[in-house]
Amino acid sequence: MLSSKKEQITIESNIEERNTKEPVCIKNSERFEEMNESGTENKEEKQYLDLVREIIETGEERIDRTGTGTVSVFAPPQLRFDLSSSFPLITTKKVFFRAIVEELLFFVRGETDATILQNKGVKIWDGNGSREYLDSIGLFDRKENDLGPVYGWQWRHFGAKYTSSDADYTGKGYDQLQRVIDTIKNNPSDRRMIISAWNPADMHLMALPPCHMFAQFYVTKPNTKDAELSCQFYQRSCDMGLGVPFNIASYALLTIMIAYVTNLKPGKLIYCMGDAHVYSDHIEALKVQLKRVPYEFPRLKIREHVERIEDFSYEDFEVEGYKSYKKISMKMSV
C-alpha cells in the first residue's frame, strides 16, 4: 500500500536489455532492427507491432460495416503490459495523450455530449456525433453530438432510462465504477470487480455500440504493502491502426487512476481482442510504422492529491520521457 496519497505515483521505465540486433521481416521484404538507440528492446510495443504485421500478412479480407474493408484475425494472443515499470504510450508514432485523458475523464464522469470534448480540442467523436451520422442510423430526434448511453454512461448509470445528454442522472441506475472502487477498498479478493459497457437493451440508443466492452480488476497480495491492481479488458472490435494504441493507454490510465484512489500500486494490463483488424486504407501507413524501432515507454506522474476518481483533470497527469516518431495520419472509418 502507498504510505500517503500525497506521494506521486511514478511509473519508471525498466525495459530488459538485450545483446543482439536480430532483424525482423515484414511482408514487403523491408527490415528494421529491434534495438533502439539506447540499446534496449521495447518488447511490450513490439508485441503490438508484431500483431499488426501478422494481420497484414495473414488476415482474412472482410467487408465491414463502414464499407472501407479490412484484413482481420479473430482472438489473437493477449497483449500484456507492466504498469509498474512504465506507461504504455506507443512510440512508433506520436499519440495524442490529451485526447486519451479527456476522453477517459468524459467516460468516468458518465458524460455523453461530444461538445464537451470538442471544446477541449478533442475531435475523436465528431464523426459519430454528427447530424448526418445520427440521421443515418435512425436517430433523427437526437440532438447533434448527443452520443446516447455509451461507455461511461453505462459505467455510471447502468439500467437507468436514457433520455438526453442534458438530463441529470445523479443517483440513477447502477454505478459500476464506484462499486469496483468500493469493493477494492473493502473486499479486494472479490471476483466480481467488473465493469460492462455492453447493454443490449440500450444498443438502439447508442451512436456507436461499445468496442471495448468489459473489464475485470484484480488485486494481487491484497492488504499488504505490495498490493497491486491489475486489469484485464475485452474488446470486440479492434482497429489496430487508430483505436488500439488509444485503448492501450486509456485502460492503463484507468487502472492507474483506480489504483491511486484506492491506495494501491498499479500492476498489469491484459488486453483481450475479438475481431482485430487493419482497415484497407491504413495498410500503407502501418507499413511505415512497422519499419520504426520503438523507443522505451515513458513514465507517468500524478501531480495532485485526488480523493474521488471523477475529480481528476488533465492537468493532474504528467508524462515524462515520452520520445516518439512523427504522427502518422490515418482516416477514421465511420
178: helix, strand or coil: helix
211 is catalytic: yes
Q: Which residues contact 146 (CB under 8 A, 6 or more apart)?
A: 112, 113, 114, 129, 134, 164, 165, 207
- Catalytic position from the list 25, 211, 231, 272: 211
Cα 182 from Cα 190, distance rounded (Å): 11
Closest CA to 293 of 10, 21, 29: 21
Q: Of 290, 300, 293, which is closest to residue 322 (Cα–Cα)?
A: 300
What lies within 8 Å, CB to CB, of 1 at 6+ separation is 224, 225, 227, 263, 264
Helix or strand run (H / E) with residue 100: helix 97-108
Tracing cell 459519430 back to the chain, one arrives at 128
State how far the Cα of 295 lies from the Cα of 292, in Å rounded to an integer: 9
Alpha-carbon torsion 243, 300, 78, 105, what sign?
Answer: negative
Active site residues: 211
